[in-house]
Chain A
Amino acid sequence: MSQYTVIQRLLFSPLVALAIVSCGNPASAQVQDPLAYAQARIVKIFGAGGMKNLHAYSTGFLVSPEGHVATIWSHVLDSDEVTAVLSDGRKFTANVVGAEPRMDVAVIKLTGDVKDLPFFELNDAKSASVGARILGLSNMFKVATGDEPVSVLHGVIAAKTKLTTRRGAFQTPYEGDVYIVDAITNNPGAGGGVLMSLDGKLLGMIGKELRNAASNTWVNYALPMTDLRDVIDQIIAGVYVAEKKPDEELAPERYNSLDFGVVMVPDVLFRTPAFVDRILPGSLAAKSGLVSGDLVLFVNGELVQSCRNLQSELGKLEGQDDLKLVVRRGKNLIEFEMRVPNKAN
């Protein structure tokens, strides 16, 4: 497809007016026309799925001239072979080369005699700060077929944050920072799409459709390319070995409040606040100065919103850990520190 058509199509959308500004920017030495450059490197992926209303399509981007495509690790790749459609409409079958489910990334390779394809140079990827303008490219809703260019959205980086910081709020294993964007990028099929800066630098890979259980909202996020590129390179080189992490016990119950001499109020509601009912005389808590009626708010910096939260935080402690509690007494917040006692097994 010619550059002209891409721009012509996009011109009709005020959303990408900003992108066009940068299209004409001669200062960007490597990329004359960031959108056309990116569109040529984006791949529409069709695969397994389709069961239980799961969509069977996603997006990817070329990362080698031989047809390696980085994409999101999802059920779309569950079958042995998937179909990849390039921006010029050519259709290839592709196999999964490898994946790192913990980073939600996979690499597939186009089969057959493939060479000299345009690709993203991962080393050119950069990072961006909150407020930076971005473009998101993906085949959301499978709206583009054949040689049609994928959809472009614009927005800014709304936040850079970890998705896992809040206990159980997100169902994702990725532990690093992600970009949250203020555009509605994470739609069906958008996973594996590209987040880039106005001057055409790769910033991230658009993530899955993900719900934030703590605020009951959908999250639009992308995984930073600077964190993904080594993994992608290693998967391509066939040298990637998934880092073995010891499986963490899901909900350890090593300690509870009684181990410190604290009797909590009866846990009757889903969110019963963590009020201290009474303190056992002579206990660790009594020596520290906790009293009946204190409301425990933080355990080692983690907010506890209920009795249940409190017990699960205490459950994670180990002998000789420092335990720092913040309680509300009247209008004041008071901090207590104590050493976790060893427990006879």
Chain B
Amino acid sequence: MPMALIITIPPHGSAFRQVRLVALMASLIAGGFADLPAADLKLSILEETAFKEAAARVDPSIVQIQTVGGLDRVGKVLTGTAPTTGVVVSEDGYVISSAFNFASKPASILVRLADGRQFSADLVATDRLRMVTLLKIEVKGLTVPVAAPKADFQVGQWSIAMGRTYDFKTPSLGVGIVSALDRIWGKAIQTDAKVSPINYGGPLVDIQGRVMGVLVPMSPRGNTEIAGVEWYDGGIGFAIPLVDIQATLDRMKAGVELKPGLMGVDLEGRDIYADKPVVSRVRAESPAEQAGLKKGDLFTEIDGKKVVNQSQIKQVLGAKYAGDSVKVVVSREGKSIPAELKLVDKLVAFEAGFLGILPDRLATADEKGGVVVRYIYAKSPAETAGLKVGDRITKFNDATELSIDKLTDIVARVDPGDPASLTFEREGKASTVNVKLASVPDAVPATLSSVAITPGEKKDDGPKVGRFSRKIPGHDNEFWAYVPEDYNPDHEYGLMVWLHPNSDTMEATIIKNWRPICDLRGLIVLAPKAEKLGGWTLSESQAITDSIKKFQEDYSIDDRRIFLHAYSSGGTMAYHTAFKERELIRGLAIVSSALRTQPPDNTPLYRMQILLNCGDKDDAFRTVQATAAGLKRLKFPITNMIGKGRAHAYAPANELDEIARWVDSLDRI
């Protein structure tokens, strides 16, 4: 049957050739070359035997891991209570596993060897880059598996994913092929064998019974223990090459937590595939600064590899630890300059530079280009340089064709204290001045006149105005909203997203206090409601996000002034949503609620300004002050308002007026 000939079983490695040879020999014995289909059936049966033999070879090195105690969820993901898997990496009791298996921070870890012996295990160290964890048990004479060398890895070769969770006696196995190499920025083998909590921590084995890698969940977008678990059994699984683990084993045995290595440069632009790797900023006290890298340097080589875009740098750097060295070549004014950097795990936090102006939103939108000044901050670099309201900034350092976004981005990327030159037009005359940038001030301007908004025409078919309630499309949540009655789409409106505390929408309070502010300062209130009024669940951040996107479609919204406002228990949801949706949300105004999770780093890519408001007699006062201090350490712009003598309560009218001025200056530059 000639059709049998079209069978192309994927592997092309040496293992495959071996098996094939055996198959052909077997078919010779069975009855000769003429009988090809029989040979191919024998081949597939031999392959099946090869899977089983490969598995049997690794079997003694696969251990079962059980945990006791610990969290029942990590983020949104439930942690399992099922056994998990590990692989012996040295004869004297070291076992490697996936960091996922210990995300619940268990109180006790048990390791059961293939021979049934059981031991209490210590967690020695975790590799935060490759997300594997090293365990130690008190035993000698363990069977260490053979590691497959990287040179033998080939896309298309058989790969067998194994675990010891279902049936203790026989490890489970799933068969697939290697789908790709050097995935997740150079770290992982990708396989289409089924990888899931059933075998995380187990080995990925080649057909000769050598361990290629250790199975882990992984995602190019996320670096926690649980990132990538949503892809389980999806035909996209990952394994960390065992040879890479062996290379760091001594450090891990010594109890060193391995962390991703950082250079300390920000690059220009946001598209890592299209944009050239040009340094936009060298972080203070970073390896890049010590190596003498400068703003404007263009990376041309990294560890001997030529690079033309930013992703190629990430590919090399993504596999490196703090403490590792990297050799780079940059091009500066036509000259090639080599440098060697020793990577670190932590950088001094990014702090945005500040010029001290508010942009005139409407005037800047005209055809002439440049950014028109609406307001000058007292004692700011802009005031010192003699800028005045109505001036049109046309050039900042080398950048021309300025828009509000462009100027905001460029100014933010200059370190506070660093000089810059600025060109502006006043009454048709251009002048250039030097400024020294400052930090973003904590204080809100004491007075700030609103931007006059000409009332829009009333249209029956226009978007809904006034106060109304609806359902969020695609979700079970409802929202209420207030849009100024004289809404005019020619103006851009700020968007306040109100997240109510548990069991109380506070609709009456919010509408009473905020309606005048909205009318005065051009602000829309959007108030999604928790599906169960009793409290938000974190997954509802999607409904909140979708409602914001809907309002962006339906109304003329200023993307720079979308912020979340919350009181008390609503704050948890606000922090969560704002730090999850960094591309969308630009501000947080939180009354009487502390941040209880680790915030992300401040970055020039996603601007975030935070206002905290809490009474000094409030139960939450101390934790809110700690939140303010913590966020300030991370260099987020923080306005910390303290209500004198106020117990746990929403902000009073005079404080709301200050919050309103903060809102109206969210687009400060």
A contacts, CB < 8 Å to B:
7, 11, 14, 17-18, 20-27, 129-133, 155-156, 158-161, 166, 169, 180, 182, 184, 198-199, 212, 214-218, 269-274, 295, 297, 303-306, 326, 328, 331-333
Contact call A328/B44, Cβ cutoff below 8 A: no
Of B70, B80, B172, the residue contacting A216 (CB under 8 A) is: B80
Inter-chain CA distance A166–B82, complex, in Å, is 8
Nearest-CB residue, chain B, relative to A160: B167
Identify which of residues 6-56 in chain B touch chain A, using a CB-to-CB cut-off of 8 Å: 6-9, 37-38, 40-41, 43-45, 47-48, 51-52, 55
Of A11, A270, A306, the residue contacting B68 (CB under 8 A) is: A306
B182 at interface by CB-CB < 8 Å: no
Inter-chain CA distance A271–B1, complex, in Å, is 60
Contact call B232/A217, Cβ cutoff below 8 A: yes
Interchain residue pairs with CB less than 8 A apart (21): A14-B8, A21-B7, A27-B41, A130-B55, A130-B170, A131-B55, A155-B175, A158-B166, A159-B166, A159-B167, A182-B194, A212-B82, A215-B198, A216-B80, A217-B197, A217-B233, A295-B68, A303-B66, A303-B68, A304-B68, A305-B67
B3 at interface by CB-CB < 8 Å: yes
Nearest-CB residue, chain B, relative to A11: B3
Contact call B40/A21, Cβ cutoff below 8 A: yes
Nearest-CB residue, chain A, relative to B2: A24
- Contacts A131-B55, A131-B173; A24 near B37 (Cβ below 8 A): yes
Of B6, B48, B68, the residue contacting A305 (CB under 8 A) is: B68
> Inside 8 A of A215's CB, which chain B residues have their CB?
80, 82, 165, 196-198
> Inside 8 A of B421's CB, which chain A residues have their CB?
none
- Contacts A158-B173, A160-B167, A180-B172; A218 near B233 (Cβ below 8 A): yes
Contact call B198/A217, Cβ cutoff below 8 A: yes
Of A21, A131, A158, A305, the residue contacting B44 (CB under 8 A) is: A21
Of A18, A158, A198, A199, the residue contacting B174 (CB under 8 A) is: A158
Contact call B80/A333, Cβ cutoff below 8 A: no
- How many chain B residues have a CB neighbour from A under 8 Å? 58
> Inside 8 A of B176's CB, which chain A residues have their CB?
182
> Inside 8 A of A130's CB, which chain B residues have their CB?
52, 55, 170-173
Inter-chain CA distance A159–B161, complex, in Å, is 12
Contact call A217/B196, Cβ cutoff below 8 A: yes
B contacts, CB < 8 Å to A:
1, 3-4, 6-9, 37-38, 40-41, 43-45, 47-48, 51-52, 55, 66-72, 77-78, 80-82, 104, 107-108, 110, 118-120, 122, 138, 161, 165-167, 170-176, 193-194, 196-198, 232-233
- The B contact surface, by secondary structure, is mixed
> Inside 8 A of A218's CB, which chain B residues have their CB?
233
> Inside 8 A of A129's CB, which chain B residues have their CB?
52
- Beyond A159-B173, A305-B69, list 9 extra A-B contacts (CB 8 Å): A20-B6, A24-B4, A24-B40, A27-B38, A131-B51, A156-B51, A180-B172, A182-B173, A303-B68
> Inside 8 A of B174's CB, which chain A residues have their CB?
155-156, 158, 182
> Inside 8 A of A270's CB, which chain B residues have their CB?
72
Contact call B173/A273, Cβ cutoff below 8 A: no
Nearest-CB residue, chain B, relative to A272: B69
Contact call A133/B172, Cβ cutoff below 8 A: no
Contact call B82/A271, Cβ cutoff below 8 A: no
Inter-chain CA distance A150–B524, complex, in Å, is 55
Inter-chain CA distance A304–B81, complex, in Å, is 10
- Contacts A7-B3, A166-B82, A212-B82; A328 near B196 (Cβ below 8 A): no
Inter-chain CA distance A214–B82, complex, in Å, is 5
> Inside 8 A of A160's CB, which chain B residues have their CB?
167, 170
> Inside 8 A of A169's CB, which chain B residues have their CB?
82
> Inside 8 A of B68's CB, which chain A residues have their CB?
271, 273-274, 295, 297, 303-306
Of B3, B120, B173, B232, the residue contacting A24 (CB under 8 A) is: B3
Q: Which 6 residue pairs of A and B lie closest in terms of their CB atoms, listed nearest first? A: A182-B174, A24-B1, A214-B82, A273-B69, A24-B37, A159-B172
> Inside 8 A of A180's CB, which chain B residues have their CB?
166, 172
Contact call B172/A158, Cβ cutoff below 8 A: yes
Inter-chain CA distance A100–B47, complex, in Å, is 38
Nearest-CB residue, chain A, relative to B121: A331
Inter-chain CA distance A265–B627, complex, in Å, is 33
